[in-house]
Amino acid sequence: MKKILVNKKFSFFIMSAFLVISTQVLFSETEKPIATVLDFTVSQVSEQEAAILVDYFSGHLVASNKFRVIDRTQRQTILSELKFSYDGCTDESCQLEIGKLLAARFIFIGSLGKLGSRYILNMSLVEVETGETLKSVSDKYSSLDYLVDDTGRIISIFTEREQPAGPEPPASARETSKPEVSTAPAASTPKIIPAPKPPSINLPIFLDFGMLAGGPLEFDLIDGVCLGAYFGGLFPIIEIFYVGASLSILFSLEDFDRGTVFFGGSVCLGDPSELALGIGIEVSPAVQFTGSVILGGTITAYIGGFDIRVFYGEDFVAGPVLTIGVGGHF
């Protein structure tokens, strides 16, 4: 009979312990304060980017397991059902009113803007009932990418110690705890993240070559068509601006011993490997061709690795000279 009584006492002890533990777990979940991240006030940052950032901060708050979080979508649904317009709600009294409508104990408010080449984030944790700012963070970043990567650290500043639960502490306790929060190094010292160095740009040098056909348009001294070739290079100054140098050789088919060499220079706008236009000047002493100087200009179209070159010059003895060239560059 005594053994049976002991077992009953032991069973009662186990059930009591189970009820106590279950009650503690239940109350620990319900005692988490409700919080929400309100939309940031933005300047030179799109509303869409700011909304995504608010969602990202809310996700980190949920992961911290310190709050019951009302996310942006839930907040909009609740306020819509309450016929409350969120548009233009940027002052503190309006933001606190939203917190009360959501039955939230804490709200996260902030601003995000661009000043010069820096993105500046100001974010605060505010107690809804008292309107007191409990913690704040002010940081600047060289890009939004760095800000996104830093959201976990920012949330850890706000959640590094649990928010008080149960009855509110007296005003004197809040006065003593406030300086401790406001003088925290993480909140008072802005974090400057250097911008990444831009990648170096290696611009190519193009070699230009092709065949020529043409010759004097007036055949007083030389009859027939002339053939030849041209060679040169294109050297980059900036990404879409090149300077070129060329050497052209032209021979007469009627008298192959007679010919001339042209020296030229040019400028080119565009990307020669895709689409560009070159304009240049060529000159030839022409002592073996017509016995005079030939001076003229070239226009070259560079299209996807191929080029078409047209030269028109003036021979002071034999008259005008015209050649057309077709070639390529690499």
- Better-scored residue on pLDDT, 247 or 184: 247
CATH 3.40.50.10610 domain residues, the chain = 28-188
φ/ψ of residue 101, rounded to 5: -65, -30
Fold observed for domain 28-188? Rossmann fold (3.40.50)
CATH 2.40.160 domain residues, the chain = 206-329
Whole-angstrom distance, CA of residue 206 vs CA of residue 97:
67
Show the DSSP H helices in the chain as ranges.
Answer: 2-30, 47-64, 72-81, 92-101, 144-149, 151-158, 171-182, 185-188
Task: List beta partners, residue 215.
Answer: 322
The C-alpha torsion from 149 through 153 and 154 to 155, rounded to 10°, is: 110
For position 187, what pLDDT does the model report?
A: 43
Whole-angstrom distance, CA of residue 34 vs CA of residue 38:
13
pLDDT in tens, 79-137: 888 888 777 777 888 889 888 998 999 999 999 999 888 999 999 999 999 999 999 99
Q: Which residue has the tokens 């294109």?
A: 234
Rg (CA), the chain: 40
- Using a cut of 0.85, tell me whether the model's pTM lies above it: no
CATH 2.40.160 assigned to domain 206-329? The reply is yes
Q: Kindly tell me if the per-residue pLDDT of 183 is higher than 60.
A: no
Strand pairing category for 133-141 and 319-329: unpaired
pLDDT in tens, 187-239: 444 555 555 555 555 788 989 899 998 877 765 545 568 889 999 999 998 87
